[in-house]
Chain A
Amino acid sequence: MDEILKILEKDARTSPEDIAKMTGKKISDVVKTIKKYEKEGVILGYKTIINKELIEDDDNEVRALIEVNVTPQKDVGFDRIAERIYQFPEVTSCYLVSGTYDLLLVVEGKNIHTVSNFVAEKLSPMDNVRGTVTHFLLKKYKENGVILKHKEENKRIAISY
C-alpha cells in the first residue's frame, strides 16, 4: 500500500505538509495523490474513532452481530438479498461469510428494542431469510485495531544514552 495511505490510515488528520516531510514528496504531489484516491473511492471518508464506552449519556447505542441464513437466488446468488438488507440504516456492516451461516451483519440501534424490532419486523420476514441468530455486544475491548482503554503512561525513563 502507498505510504500516503498508510500514514492516513493511522492518523487521518496528518496534514499534507507533514506527509510530504515524512515521505520526502512534494506537498503539491501529496495533495494531488490524496485527491485522486478520494475521487477513485480508495479513500472513502475520514472518521473519528470515539470510545463510546466512556460517554455517559442515555442514548448510548446498542450493537448486535446477527448471523443470517439465506436461500440464494438464481443467477444473483446472495447479492440481491444482501443489498436488500444492507440498505437499512441500522445495518452498519454486512459480510458474506463461509461456514454455518451466510451473512454476518453488524446492527446498531438506540436500544435493545430497536434492534429486536429490526430483526422481528424487517429481517426475519424476508422471503429468502431462513433464520437468524442475534448476539448483543456486551463490552468492547478492541475495535478496528484500536484497544479501547486509556493509554497507559509511558514507562521509559525520560532520558538515557
Chain B
Amino acid sequence: MISKRVEQLQPSGIRQFFDLVLGMKEVISLGVGEPDFVTPWNIREAGIYALEKGYTSYTSNKGLYRLRLIISRFLKKRYGLEYNPDEEILITVGTSEGLDLIMRAILEPREKVLIPQPGYVSYAPVTILAGGKPIYLHTGPEGDFKLNPGIIENAYEQNTKAIILNYPNNPTGVSYNRKELEEIKKIVFKKNLLVISDEIYSELTYDFPHTPFATLKGAKERTIYLNGFSKAYAMTGWRIGYVCGPEKIISAMTKIHQYTIMCVSIISQVAACEALENGRIPVEEMKNEYRRRREFVVQRLNELRLNCLKPQGAFYVFPSIKATGMGSLEFANKLLNAEKVAVVPGTAFGSCGEGFIRISYAAGMENLKEAMNRIERFLKRQCNLK
C-alpha cells in the first residue's frame, strides 16, 4: 500500500528515546530544538491586529509583496545581499518547506546531493522523497566538525547536483568565516554544484559576522539562500520562512508551492513583517542571553571532561562523551533514567555523531545550572569520572 520511496525512508533510530522523554514527567530538557522564549510581544501583537483587521484570506502564491519587499531591504542592509522581491523571493512554510521545494525543483531521478553530517535530520529524507540520492560528508572532532574542500572532493561522485550547507550548524553550532567559505566555494565551482545554503541560525552567530554564501563573489547565481523566522525571532509555531535565489529556480519552486501549499498563512506573514521591521532589539536581547548561556555551558561541560568546542552559533553544543565509555544512545538513556535530564544522542544527526550528544542551551539559566549539576552527579556515580 505504501510507496517504496516512503517505505525506504528509515524511521528515526531514536524515536523510542523521544517517546520515553515525552512520557516522563518533570524532565529538565536540554533536548529542544527551538527557543525557550516566546515570540516577542510586538510580533505577537501584530498577528492579533491582523486577525482583528480581518486579514483572513489567501495571499499571492509567493507571499505578501510587502513582506518580500521588507525581506529584500533587510538582506540588502544587513548583508549587502540583493534579491528582487518580484522574482527572487518566495515565502515558505518554514525553512522546512523551502528544503523540500528545492529538492523537488532541481533533482532528476538518482541525482546526488552532498549532505554534511552530523546535520539536521530532514536533508536526507527530502532528497530521497524527491528521487535523489544523499551522499554524506562526514565531519568530526579532528577537523572541529567543519567541512573542508578535501572532504567534499573525496565524497564527490559523478552525477552530483548540489551540496547542502548549514551554518551555524544544527547540531554542532559550528559556523564558517568568509575565508573558510571561500575555500568551500572553490571546490563547489570546480564541481559545478548548486549550493543549498540553510542559514536559519544566521542571526545567532556570536564570534564573527555571519556571511551568507550568496555574498561570495560569483556565488549568487548558483546559491539558494534559505532562512526563516523560527529561531532568531522565536517564531517556530508560526511556520514561516523564505527562500531567495535565481529567478529560474524560485519560479520552479513557486510552481510546486502554488499547487501544494498555495500560500503561507497571512497572519504569520503580517507578523513576519513586524519581526523584520521592529525585531532588532528583542533579537539582540535573546542573542545576548544565549551567548551568556553558551559560555556557561561550555565551561561547565569542559570541567566535567565532556570535552567540547565553543560553538560559534545557534543554541547547541556537541560535547564528546567518549570518556564515559558509553555510546550516545546509551548515555542519553541512562542520564534520562538516573537524573531526568534529556539530551539528544549525536547519532540522531548521522552515524558520525556517535560518541557525542547534542545539548541545547535554549533553556533558562536555572535549568541549565541544575542540569549541569545533575550531569556531574551522574558522571560521578556512573563512571567514577573525576
Contacts and interface: CB of A to CB of B under 8 A. Distances in A.
A34 B143 CA distance: 40
Interface stretch (B61-69, B129-137, B180-188, B292-300): B292-300
Contacts of A6: 288
B55 interface: no
Contact of B292 (A3, A156, A159): A3
A158 B342 CA distance: 8
A83 B33 CA distance: 54
Contact of A156 (B32, B121, B296): B32
26 contacts: A6-B288, A14-B365, A18-B296, A18-B365, A18-B369, A21-B295, A21-B299, A22-B292, A24-B299, A157-B22, A158-B22, A158-B24, A158-B27, A158-B29, A158-B31, A158-B342, A159-B21, A159-B22, A159-B29, A159-B31, A160-B32, A160-B34, A161-B33, A161-B120, A161-B344, A161-B348
Given A161-B120, A161-B121, A156 B300 contact: no
Contacts, number: 55
Given A23-B292, A158-B29, 19 more contacts: A6-B288, A7-B292, A18-B369, A21-B295, A22-B295, A23-B295, A156-B32, A156-B34, A158-B24, A158-B342, A159-B21, A159-B31, A159-B342, A160-B32, A160-B34, A161-B120, A161-B121, A161-B122, A161-B349
A144 to B, nearest CB: 17
Interface in B209-228: none
A21 B342 contact: no
Q: Is the interface of A mostly helix, strand, loop or mixed?
A: loop
Interface residues of A, number: 17
Interface of A: 3, 6-7, 11, 14, 18, 21-24, 154, 156-161
Contacts of B24: 158
A154 B363 CA distance: 10
A8 to B, nearest CB: 12
B300 A21 contact: yes
A67 to B, nearest CB: 29
Interface string B354-386: 000000000001000100000000000000000
Nearest to A3: B292
Contacts of B288: 6
B36 interface: yes
Nearest to B30: A159
Nearest to A15: B369
B170 interface: yes
B296 A22 contact: yes
B156 interface: no
Interface string B284-323: 0000100011011001100000000000000000000000
Contacts of A154: 36
Nearest to B236: A156
Given A11-B365, A18-B369, A21-B300, A158 B32 contact: yes
Contacts of B74: none
B344 A21 contact: no
Contacts of B31: 158-160
Which of B31, B170, B292: most chain A Cβ within 10 A? B292
